[in-house]
């Protein structure tokens, strides 16, 4: 039977096949013929694709036609001029996500007017002489990131508080903490906020107990809610006080996810032996991440038993994990990266199957871990995904052999990821794990 011509198969079949390919493979297939070129540009194959745009004036009309055919809704715009923004509004007016990097503009509304479908906006490493005036059409943003923007604090606060429908805010602005009253004013203008990522910076002393939430109820008014938002997710970046106050999270009972990224230089020189009890006020917490923070032994006894996800990039020993195991018996996700050299890391890995038998996802490093200890992870009966965090782009034959043995012993139940993750251009570098 002679081979079928490409056009003899239904286009839906080809689109389904192309959906299984990587981006580079789709681009190679696209260059084969006009028929495949048209099929590969089907919008469903590029649904989650983000396009990075530089020198917009250099792109051809065909380029913009391709993006419209793919229904591109997410772009990163670098060093664009006012003329470039006019072209972008004309060519892709239906954008839902825009990241602005390394730019200089007079006013934000000069570049954002004309994108009625915009829901997510990130402004990173930009400079504004006037951050905000007045939008011709108010934006209905739900996600907003402002990171290392050179502008007056009052201008930035004015921008943030204008977007009253925000559910996610990343405020990575200062080398020093935002004044408490200013921060509370931001929160009380964002009643729908669920996720907050806040860069703290160097502090003099400790945070006030009521810094992270407005605290006491204020007198109600028509335009100002009584309390701050009911946050469910909180990130604290560049934190310099190793012992958070016991009352730091009182008032945030709705919190389900907490990540604290410490300033490692400050923590390394910290010698206070007091036990930290700041987690005791978060009984409903399900996800906890401690990055470059103090030893686990300082707060392990206060970790809430509701945790199902735990990330630790700190000094940790086997006895610390034993304490945690009694506290969090239902842990299903563990990301473990002990800071510095640890000659007991192999022992730690070997004990994981006994301490956390319900794990479904495990992220570890393989350096300093004997081959037998890595293979012992096959005892995790529920494990579905294992990520090797320190594997180079070309893993050693020894590591590949260990992975093959592990998969064989588990009948390929475990997906082993050993290649470095692809950077997410939509996310700023401040809180990369």
Q: What is the pLDDT of residues 333-380, one digit of tens each?
A: 999 988 765 667 888 899 999 999 999 999 998 888 888 889 999 999
What confidence category does residue 433 fall into, taking pLDDT thresholds of 50, 70 and 90? low
The predicted pLDDT at position 224 comes to 42
**In the chain, what percentage of residues exceed pLDDT 70?**
85
What confidence category does residue 25 fall into, taking pLDDT thresholds of 50, 70 and 90? confident
Which residue spans within 195-256 are E strands per DSSP?
195-199, 233-239
Q: Are 383 and 359 in contact (CB under 8 A)?
A: yes
CATH number at residue 2: 1.20.1280.50
In a domain, 383, yes or no: yes
In a domain, 7, yes or no: yes
DSSP state of 150: B
Through-space distance between the first and last CA atoms of the chain, rounded to whole angstroms:
54
Q: What backbone phi and psi angles, to 5 degrees, belong to 109?
A: -65, -20
The predicted pLDDT at position 244 comes to 67
The predicted pLDDT at position 194 comes to 95
Q: Which domain covers residue 21, as residue numbers?
A: 1-47
Domain end (from 12, 32, 47): 47
In a domain, 286, yes or no: no
In a domain, 161, yes or no: no
**In the chain, what percentage of residues exceed pLDDT 90?**
38
Q: What is the pLDDT of residues 369-425, one digit of tens each?
A: 888 889 999 999 999 999 998 877 778 888 889 999 999 999 999 999 988 777 788
In a domain, 179, yes or no: no
In a domain, 371, yes or no: yes
Number of structural domains found in the chain: 2
Instruction: Work out the average pLDDT over 231-245.
Output: 81
Q: How far, in Å, are 118, 140, 186, 229, 247 from residue 255 at the CA level?
A: 28, 25, 18, 11, 14
| Higher-confidence position of 192 and 241 | 192
Q: What backbone phi and psi angles, to 5 degrees, belong to 291?
A: -115, 125
Only one residue has tokens 């479908």, namely 117
The per-residue pLDDT of the chain, averaged, comes to: 83
In a domain, 397, yes or no: yes
Among the residue ranges 20-24, 292-296, 429-433, the one predicted with the least confidence is 429-433
- Which of 20-24, 65-69, 152-156, 203-207 reaches the highest mean pLDDT? 65-69
In a domain, 343, yes or no: yes
Task: Indicate the angle between helix axes 180-188 and 153-162, nearest 10 degrees.
Answer: 20
Q: What is the pLDDT of residues 159-179, one digit of tens each?
A: 888 888 999 999 998 667 788
The predicted pLDDT at position 106 comes to 66
The predicted pLDDT at position 1 comes to 35
Q: What is the pLDDT of residues 179-231, one digit of tens each?
A: 888 889 899 899 999 999 998 876 655 677 788 876 544 444 444 444 467 89
Taking alpha carbons only, the member of 315, 311, 321, 322 closest to residue 288 is 311
pTM: 0.87
DSSP state of 96: S
């Amino acid at each position: 039977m002679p081979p079928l011509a490409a056009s003899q198969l239904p286009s839906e079949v080809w689109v389904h096949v192309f959906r299984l390919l990587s981006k580079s493979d789709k681009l190679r297939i696209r260059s084969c013929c006009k028929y495949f070129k048209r099929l590969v540009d089907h919008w469903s194959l590029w649904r989650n694709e983000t396009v990075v745009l530089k020198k917009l004036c250099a792109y051809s009309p065909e380029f913009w036609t391709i993006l419209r055919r793919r229904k591109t809704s997410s772009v990163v715009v670098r060093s664009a001029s006012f003329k470039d923004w006019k072209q972008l509004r004309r060519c892709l007016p239906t954008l839902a996500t825009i990241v602005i990097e390394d730019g200089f503009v007079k006013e934000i509304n000069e570049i954002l007017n004309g994108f009625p479908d915009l829901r997510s906006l990130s402004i990173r490493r930009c400079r504004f002489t006037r951050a905000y005036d007045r939008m011709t059409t108010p934006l209905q943003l739900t996600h907003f990131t402002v990171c290392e923007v050179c502008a007056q604090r009052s201008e930035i606060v004015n921008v943030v508080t204008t977007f009253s429908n925000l559910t996610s805010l990343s405020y990575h602005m200062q080398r020093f903490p935002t004044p408490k009253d200013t921060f509370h004013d931001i929160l009380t203008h964002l009643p729908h906020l669920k996720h907050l990522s806040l860069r703290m910076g160097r502090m003099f002393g400790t945070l006030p107990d009521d810094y992270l939430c407005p605290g006491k109820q204020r007198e109600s008014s028509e335009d100002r809610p009584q309390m701050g938002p009911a946050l469910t997710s909180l990130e604290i970046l560049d934190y310099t006080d190793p012992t958070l106050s016991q009352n730091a999270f009182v008032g945030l009972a709705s919190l389900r996810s907490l990540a604290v990224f410490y300033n490692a230089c400050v923590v390394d020189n910290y010698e206070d032996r007091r036990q930290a009890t700041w987690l005791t006020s978060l009984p409903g917490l399900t996800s906890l991440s401690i990055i470059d923070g103090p030893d686990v032994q300082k707060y392990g006894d206060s970790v809430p038993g509701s945790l199902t996800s735990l990330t630790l990039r700190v000094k940790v020993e086997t006895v610390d994990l034993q304490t945690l195991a009694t506290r969090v018996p239902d842990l299903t996700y563990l990301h473990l990266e002990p800071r510095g050299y640890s000659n007991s890391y192999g022992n730690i890995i070997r004990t994981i199957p006994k301490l956390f038998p319900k794990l479904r996802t495990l992220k570890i490093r393989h350096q300093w871990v004997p081959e037998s200890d890595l293979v012992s992870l096959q005892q995790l009966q529920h494990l579905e995904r294992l990520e090797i965090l320190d594997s180079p782009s070309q893993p050693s034959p020894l590591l590949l052999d260990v992975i093959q043995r592990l998969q064989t012993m588990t009948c390929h139940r475990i997906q082993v990821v050993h290649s470095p993750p692809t950077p997410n251009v939509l996310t700023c570098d401040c809180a990369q794990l």
